[in-house]
Amino acid sequence: MALPPTVVFDLDGTLVDTAPDLISALNFILGREGLPPVPLHSARNMIGAGARKLIERGLELEGRAASTSEITRLTEDFIAYYAEHIADGSRPFDGLENALDELTTRGYRLAVCTNKLEWLSKLLLDRLGLSFHFSAICGADTFGVAKPDPAILQQTVARAGGNISSAIMVGDAGTDIGVARRAGVPIIGVEFGYTDVPIAELKPDRVIKHMSELRDAVESITSLPQSNQLK
């Protein structure tokens, strides 16, 4: 008996608009270091590669160089602050819960594959009442690799009880496109996430503007013969 298809989601910028709390935490760290805050609207596209990279990008904006050990210290402080404020302003993107319910009703298995730490990802989804939708929630520390390394997607699908040959990735940025392509998985790009390159320019298999379009995008892929899905 064939396993049901697995739809794997990125988290920040795909499932949840986390920018308000991430940038607030970044600005807490920058302010403590005597640096000016980063405006939310211009910092959204800095998100997506994990906390450490966000700290590095925030410092780079002010021309501030930092040692590896200093970045580590700042990242630890950032995570501690962020965990306390993880759902202050973060909210699911419009239409998300209906979209997840539609996919579940149609028999799809759902999972999360993110470059956020696993415990932070679970904490956020718990706070927002979303965790129950997912068979697996995996982060950059779950398997010791991060996107775009295909192993994180492959192992997330396996942990969810799915098969990589019938998986679909949903994401908002280049790391999501990269991990999907390297794993041989079709990718649906969302236009409302965090990326400095418009998602359509990265050539995902489908592009959606709103979560209400997700079910049709997924089913348009799963209705194709496997050999045609990435063409």
Q: How does pLDDT run across 53-77, given as a tens digit for each residue?
A: 889 988 888 778 888 999 999 999 9
Q: Does the pLDDT at position 27 exceed 80?
A: yes
Asked whether 134 and 159 are in contact (CB, 8 A), the reply is: no
Q: Does the pLDDT at position 86 exceed 90?
A: yes
The fold for domain 6-17+91-228 equals: Rossmann fold (3.40.50)
**Residue 36, number of CB atoms within 10 A of its CB:** 10
111-134 pLDDT, tens digit per residue, is 999 999 999 999 999 999 999 999
Q: How far is CA 77 from CA 34, 52, 126, 183, in A?
A: 15, 11, 22, 34
**Annotated catalytic residue 101:** no
Q: Does the pLDDT at position 196 exceed 60?
A: yes
> Angle CA(64)–CA(65)–CA(69) in degrees, nearest 5?
125
Q: How far is CA 136 from CA 96, 132, 145, 157, 227, in A?
A: 17, 10, 16, 8, 27
Asked whether 138 and 155 are in contact (CB, 8 A), the reply is: yes
The fold for domain 19-84 equals: DNA polymerase; domain 1 (1.10.150)
State the average pLDDT for the chain: 92
What residue segments make up the domains of the chain, in order of their start? 6-17+91-228, 19-84
Q: Which of 6-15, 69-78, 182-191, 210-219 has the lowest mean pLDDT?
A: 69-78
The mean per-residue pLDDT over the stretch 201-220 comes to: 97
